[in-house]
Amino acid sequence: MQYRAEIDGLRAIAVVAVILFHAGVKTFQGGFVGVDIFFVISGYLIALTILTDLQRQRFSLLGFYERRARRILPALFLVILVCVSLAWFWLQPADMQSFSHSLIATPYFVSNILYWSEAGYWDTASELKPLLHTWTLAIEGQFYLTFPLLLLLMWRWCRRWLLPLTILVGILSFMIAQWGAYTFPTANFYLLPSRLWELALGAAIGIALLNHKPSSYPLFSYQKTNAALVRELSGILGFILIIASLLTLNGNLPFPSAFALFPTVGTGLILAFSSSQTLAGRFLSHPLLVNIGLLSYGAYLWHHPLFVFARHRSLTQPAPIIIWILAIASFGFAYLTWQYVEKPFRNHREVNRKAFFLFWLIGSLVFVEIGILGHLTAGFSDRAAARTFHQDTITPIISTPIARQVRQNSVARLLHDNAILQIPLDSADSAFQAQQANAQVFGLGSVCDGAAITAPECRTDDNPEILLWGDSFAMQLAPGILASNPEVKLIQMTKSVCGPFFDVAPIAEPNYPKRWAEGCLAFNQQVREWLQQEQNSVKYAVLSSPFSQYLLSENKVLLRNGEVKTASPTLALQQFQTTLRELQRLGIEPIVVSPPPTNDLDLGRCITRAEWLGLSQKNCNFLEAEMSDKRVQAYQFLDELAGQFRILRLESLLCQNGICQAYAGDVPLYRDARHLSAEGAALLGQKHDFYQVILSP
């Protein structure tokens, strides 16, 4: 195959876009489409490579797989090895256990399936998973395993249908992607069926160019002026589409979907029409871009782990200059990897087939073994640093008076199945595991997140006096209410993201589409109907939510009459007032609890990092002036209700003299960037007597 320098130029744009996106450069908010550009290029090159060898009757399936493995595995294994070393010192056990799972999945190209299975409301943020970016390698690996076999079959039995069948596969995959973007967005993002069309697009172009005969297609001949003009304009249009997608697309759009046509079609136009003789081709063939493109694979492998471990090492966020240094360093590491790892392993004289096979087998088995051990030992929780952390920090937290009182009063179901108070506290290790379980607070139990309102696990008495209603911000209040009165007659009706509104539900694409909003409305209608029953014993309703999902203009809301409107504070206020007044008409007094203050940084993780790294927890406190815009908007929304309804303002409990506390004594008050921890809620509930606050007029 003839070398095309403009393809390396395309790789350079793609990898730089991805790195800038992960670095948080807002200008390149669509930088994630760099992976879509890579997919189209891969499809194009793989199709051309295989078909060229088939035409010359020298194609070997084993040889193809070996070449792909030599291209991908040596650099990947080096990066994984470095990640294991850094993870041992810097990752807390919960993060180390999650990382261990990726060690099992990555060498066998199934990490995309792992990350799809792990994704959810409580999942670790993507910027904290060292090997998350390998999901793209898994997609390509799965493509490499299946597509050559498909091409071989078509080549033998229906050679003339190669291009139509490839296009058909691409169309079917695109239809799956467009449908999946709005129905199962997470699977749509990570799995091959909804990404295959991007690879098929490149493959179709490769097939078309391979079969192209200039005499049959005069449009593509440079002897004709109009053909040259078409090629020039097509290449320029493709370049414009790519740049426009990098600058205008964003993570709030359903993806991959029709929006992905911008970067993929743009890449396809350049592959199909550009060359060293066209304007776009000459630009992309600039030596600087070509050299960056040659290092693109290594830079892609290195940049994300560098960013991730910098974030793990920092209590809050690394300084921008640190991220920029690491972005540049990723190309330095890429060069060294290319020179001393990639090139030698591609040379059959230096590393023969048998040696390479042993390298892959032993390396993958070692990583899988480490991963299994990491899973079984809860992230190697017996590491020396962990033991110090357990003994000096966690055990005092677990043995605080509040924790003892809650335990003595048998409220172990405050958390999910591995709740903090259900784990024996006989050793430092079990105490650490208990604190890890504290990461998720579902109230009276994990089943209470969207459970049927009659679920017996979600009440403390058959004749409840207090209703706890809302989303995860209502769930987090259960430990506080129970700590203030362990005998409270409480019933919980909660569903994540679904706020306490009778007749409106949020639509936040792609994760919470209209179909989800319909389920939220149905859930809250059940709450309404239950409260309308004559035998209902509820006298007080505690409602909580961040409210942002109903306030932000980029969201939509679904009304009970089926109408979809743009979210706004005015509409939310009207709907919430209507809900609160309906509760009053039912003889139930509503008490609205504000969301806790936040600066949008993961305060829970900051606290545990501080202990893990031996740093001061004071670094996790934040100025009230640094309050996140979403939280300020929510507080302004609640201000409109002041004087009409009772409101418990958590910011007044957590912020004093302009400083908001992330911990109190030895108790971490937060579990993440937005929610209270179980112990933090219990501390606040006991200190400020939430039960009496609810009952007080």
pLDDT reported for residue 395: 32
Confidence of residue 283 (pLDDT cuts 50, 70, 90): very high
- Cα(316)–Cα(619) distance, rounded to whole angstroms? 8
pLDDT reported for residue 254: 87
- pLDDT tens-digit map of 74-93: 999 999 999 999 999 889 88
Least confident range from 469-483, 501-515, 544-558: namely 501-515
- pLDDT tens-digit map of 286-337: 999 999 999 999 999 999 999 999 999 888 788 899 999 999 999 999 999 9
Distance separating the N- and C-terminal Cα atoms of the chain:
81
Nearest Cα neighbor of 239 from 207, 206, 267 is 267
Does residue 560 sit in helix, strand or coil?
coil
pLDDT reported for residue 219: 38
- pLDDT tens-digit map of 217-226: 333 444 455 7
Confidence of residue 633 (pLDDT cuts 50, 70, 90): very high
pLDDT reported for residue 554: 87
Mean pLDDT of 24-44: 94
- Cα(697)–Cα(145) distance, rounded to whole angstroms? 68
CB neighbours (10 Å) of residue 309? 21
- Residue 424 pLDDT greater than 60, yes or no: no
For strands 663-664 and 589-593, give the pairing: unpaired
For strands 667-668 and 663-664, give the pairing: antiparallel
In the chain, % of residues over pLDDT 90 = 68
pLDDT reported for residue 1: 64
Mean pLDDT of 238-259: 93
- pLDDT tens-digit map of 664-686: 877 889 998 899 999 999 999 99
pLDDT reported for residue 124: 61
Least confident range from 105-119, 332-346, 375-389, 531-545: namely 375-389
Least confident range from 242-256, 374-388, 418-432: namely 418-432
Amino acid identity for residue 671 in this structure: R
Confidence of residue 382 (pLDDT cuts 50, 70, 90): confident
Mean pLDDT of 632-652: 95
Confidence of residue 434 (pLDDT cuts 50, 70, 90): very low
Domains and CATH numbers, the chain: 5-376 (no CATH), 412-695 (3.40.50.1110)
In the chain, % of residues over pLDDT 70 = 89
Confidence of residue 409 (pLDDT cuts 50, 70, 90): very low
- Cα(246)–Cα(11) distance, rounded to whole angstroms? 14
DSSP per residue over 5-71, as a string?
HHHHHHHHHHHHHHHHHHTT-GGGTTGGGHHHHHHHHHHHHHHHHHHHHHHTT---HHHHHHHHHHH
- pLDDT tens-digit map of 134-147: 999 999 999 999 99
CB neighbours (10 Å) of residue 279? 14
Burial class (CB in 10 A: 0-12, 13-18, 19+), 57: exposed
Confidence of residue 67 (pLDDT cuts 50, 70, 90): very high
pLDDT reported for residue 199: 96
DSSP per residue over 248-300, as a string?
H--TTS-SSSGGGHHHHHHHHHHHHH--TTSHHHHHHT-HHHHHHHHTHHHHH
Query: Cβ distance 31 to 14 under 8 Å?
Result: no
Least confident range from 94-98, 312-316, 570-574: namely 312-316
- Residue 414 pLDDT greater than 70, yes or no: no
- Cα(617)–Cα(111) distance, rounded to whole angstroms? 35
Confidence of residue 423 (pLDDT cuts 50, 70, 90): very low
- Residue 404 pLDDT greater than 90, yes or no: no
The model carries a pTM of 0.79
Least confident range from 198-207, 250-259, 402-411: namely 402-411
- pLDDT tens-digit map of 436-484: 334 568 899 889 998 888 889 999 999 999 999 999 999 999 999 999 9
What rounded mean pLDDT belongs to the chain? 87
- Residue 553 pLDDT greater than 70, yes or no: yes
Least confident range from 154-163, 194-203, 306-315: namely 154-163
Confidence of residue 119 (pLDDT cuts 50, 70, 90): confident
Does residue 549 sit in helix, strand or coil?
helix
pLDDT reported for residue 619: 84
Torsion angles phi and psi, residue 195, rounded to 5: -110, -15
